Amino acid sequence: MKPAIEPAVAKILTIDYTKDWRPYMDAVLDYVLEGNTENRSVGDAFYLEDNKVRRWYHVPWQQWGDDGREGLHGLTAEGPVFPQVLSPLQTHQWQTYAVGFYNSLGGYEIGRVWADPNNPRIDAVTRDGGFPVGTVVAKLLFTTTPVSEAPFLSNPIEWNGYVKLAYNAPGPTGLPLTPRHLTSVRLIQVDMMVRDERANATGGWVFGTWVYNGRQTKYADRWRNLVPVGLMWGNDPTVTSHAEGNPAPTRTETNPDLRQTVINANDPALPPMHLGFGLRLSGPNDNTLSSCKSCHSAAQYPAISPILPFLGQKDGRPLRCTDPEWMLWFRNLGPTDTFDKQTQTTDNSLQLSGSIANFITARSMREGGLYAVQYWKGRPVLSIYGERGAMPANSAPCSK
């Protein structure tokens, strides 16, 4: 049975995110932390099964493949962090790992897809009109970047992880190509998504991100060192200004043309942020040529188009930000709109689309055959894994 909207979520849904974006983000962060961090060491936080306040749910089938979940905190590999993306002191490329989870309403929709564990209902999200209003999603991102190359990570929240120390392009699914190591990873970013019907005209979701800044001294609880980067509820589909962005930031720049993004640029606690394409909202670990909403709008199965525009193709070459097709990634697609019309949407859930892909690939290997949904125009459909990380500052298609 579909759960009711919790009182804490109902409160969030009364806050005007366009005017009171900071109270909106504060209320979401309180909701995410409650029951997951109290009376625990930072290394023992977010064992969701121990939460006595509310239930949270992971997406299944994230364990599959060379970049699948590790066993200590359920972290999965994200894209690389290239030099200078985090700070001028960053001279090496590092790796990112993350874990995401959904509240009860989100878990309900995940269960609708996976009601039969041997036969996922790929069209469930479309049939249901997307995730229910009141769904809250959170994602914690950790990096192998040392404090010496990103000083705002000092006084860190550290977890042990069984991870790869550097990024390697994903190989054939299921084959362990790159050795893992037990090492410390540091919290750098927390992301949020809220299914808020007031945002229906711009896609139905509100996105936000925080960056960890351990150089603050006013909080005894290190989880309160999370500083809002900003909030977005739409992609500003017609805005193409400031395309060059700020890929190697020494300060946080903003784009006054944006109307569906707000950036916390005047907060002295915010470290310099690169942001995304046209200075849309994008976290410190995220791609400088995308945005929070842009990446997630490409969540679909099969994954015909990549989640990042520069991975798209035109006339046999990578897309450039001056190509009209580039802005396909910055549409305000709604919960039942698909990025490519031949697919089934998973309503901004990249984890859900990835879980379906992993299941079908694993079944193919077990049964010794391939399925039509694994190919598009004779080529394998895309993997979302490893695509999200930020571009090198000197190689972006829109660099200065």
Asked if residues 98 and 258 have their Cβ atoms less than 8 Å apart, the reply is: no
Structure tokens at 183: 């090492």
Sequence ranges of the domains in the chain: 7-285
pLDDT in tens, 129-164: 999 999 999 999 999 999 999 999 999 999 999 998
pLDDT at 325: 96
Structure tokens that stand for 8 in this block: 């804490």
Predicted pLDDT of residue 168: 56
For 243-258, letters b (16+ CB in 10 Å) and e give: bebbbbbeebbbbeeb
CA distances from 147 to 86, 165, 173, 221, 297 (A): 11, 15, 32, 19, 33
pLDDT confidence of residue 50: 95
pLDDT digits (tens, 9 = 90+) for 275-329: 999 999 999 999 999 999 999 999 999 999 999 999 998 998 999 999 999 999 9
**Distance from C-alpha of 293 to C-alpha of 191, rounded to nearest angstrom:** 11
Q: What SS3 state is found at 106?
A: helix
Q: What is the mean pLDDT of each run of 10 residues along the chain (400 residues)?
A: 97 98 98 95 94 97 90 92 93 94 98 96 95 98 96 97 72 61 96 98 98 92 97 98 93 98 97 97 95 96 92 92 96 97 94 93 85 71 64 60
Phi, psi of 10 (to 5 degrees): -60, -35
Q: Could you tell me which residues are beta bridge partners of residue 317? A: 314
Phi, psi of 27 (to 5 degrees): -65, -40
CA angle, residues 282, 100, 180, in degrees to nearest 5: 95
3-class SS at 361?
A: helix
Place of tokens 């036969």: 119
Q: Could you give the maximum distance between any two Cα atoms of the chain, in Å?
A: 58
How many helices (H) and strands (E) would you count in the chain?
6, 14
The half-sphere exposure of 51 on its side-chain side, counting CA atoms within 13 A, is 20
